[in-house]
Chain A
Amino acid sequence: GQNIDQPTEMTATEGAIVQINCTYQTSGFNGLFWYQQHAGEAPTFLSYNVLDGLEEKGRFSSFLSRSKGYSYLLLKELQMKDSASYLCAAYNNAGNMLTFGGGTRLMVKP
């Protein structure tokens, strides 16, 4: 079966750094996606990790440890517009499926 866990809500201050964790247990794992979703909108792609390690893309970085079934999304220099839900999703290459976690609602405060 598939099981994806991430915190439900987080709060952080503008300008700070926040780390959103995601643990997964899934068969046929072939990569971990992070998406950002603002209220009332469809998700937008942030990152895709297949290999272990950290990938940096501007203010956002994503880390994966396949042996631990663990990933995190790191957001630096937080801005108010970063307030959104962040979804991690495990890619299963058997059937080309994405299994989503419940999403983490991040609130950035001044």
Chain B
Amino acid sequence: GAVVSQHPSWVICKSGTSVKIECRSLDFQATTMFWYRQFPKQSLMLMATSNEGSKATYEQGVEKDKFLINHASLTLSTLTVTSAHPEDSSFYICSAMTGYEQYFGPGTRLTVT
């Protein structure tokens, strides 16, 4: 079956620093990857759609200069949270699309102190 990995699975960083999260499709090529954010007891919120070789499409209200997305290859997309603040603490989940199906990564729990 299709497998998506994320790294790291959890990270604690200090306010003002930047954090990079990697999302990899391990056994398939994904032309489209998605980045979601989920706060406790809330549903997934789409942050951006990432297409290989082109700029990401950000959802309304998501700052593209703060959440940098790079989709350099068909198996890797990265999300960098720049100048992180405590309110950025959340569960970040990526998914990769193959056909009609989206396969989710295990998520990255970010805590900003």
Q: Which DSSP category, helix, strand, loop or mixed, fits chain B's interface?
A: strand
Q: How large is the interface on A (under 10, 10 to 19, 20 to 34, 35 or more residues)?
A: 20 to 34
Q: How far is the CB of B108 from chain A (nearest CB, A)?
A: 10
With an 8 A cutoff between CB atoms, is B42 at the interface?
yes
B contact residues, total (Cβ < 8 Å): 23
Q: Which DSSP category, helix, strand, loop or mixed, fits chain A's interface?
A: strand
> Could you tell me if A44 and B102 are in contact, using CB atoms closer than 8 angstroms?
no
With an 8 A cutoff between CB atoms, is B73 at the interface?
no
Residues in chain A near residue B42, CB distance under 8 A: 102-103
Q: How far is the CB of A102 from chain B (nearest CB, A)?
A: 5
Residue of A nearest to B91 (CB): A40
Binds A, one of B11-19, B61-69, B79-87, B93-101: B93-101
Q: How far is the CB of B1 from chain A (nearest CB, A)?
A: 10
Measured in the bound complex, the distance between the Cα atoms of B43 and A87 in whole Å is 8
Interface string of B19-46 (1 = CB under 8 A from A): 0000000000000101000000111111
